[in-house]
Amino acid sequence: MKTTNGRSTIDVNDDVVRALHAWRRKQAEERLLLGAGYDDHDLVFARADGAPTHPELLSSTFGRSSPAAGCGGSAFTTSATRRPPCC
């Protein structure tokens, strides 16, 4: 659902929340390793150095992965989503 400020909200199950927390821990480890070299944009999906990932790379990767995971490729609509408050 889109809010008035243009942000979207989605419902996720406990498995997704756990996966997002694990991903956040991995990003924190990368941030520590790179120190000042980490380009923090507070993105969920970013390159290892924190910089934004090109939208086409994320779209094509999701499109290839989603059928095997049982979801439709159209569910992925944004490439650089800000971290949700829960994570």
3-state helix, strand, coil in the chain (%, to 5): 50, 5, 45
Please report the pLDDT score of residue 21 as a whole number: 94
Structure tokens at 55: 């939208």
Q: Where are the alpha helices (DSSP H) in 6-86?
A: 14-34, 55-69
Q: Each residue's pLDDT tens digit in the chain (87 positions)?
A: 556 677 778 888 999 999 999 999 998 998 899 899 888 888 888 888 888 988 888 778 777 776 766 665 454 444 445 555 544
**Whole-model pTM over 0.75:** no
Q: How many helices (H) and strands (E) in the chain? A: 2, 0
CA dist 30 and 10 (Å) reads: 27
Task: List the end-to-end C-alpha distance of the chain, in Å, as a whole number.
Answer: 19
What pLDDT shows up at residue 3?
60
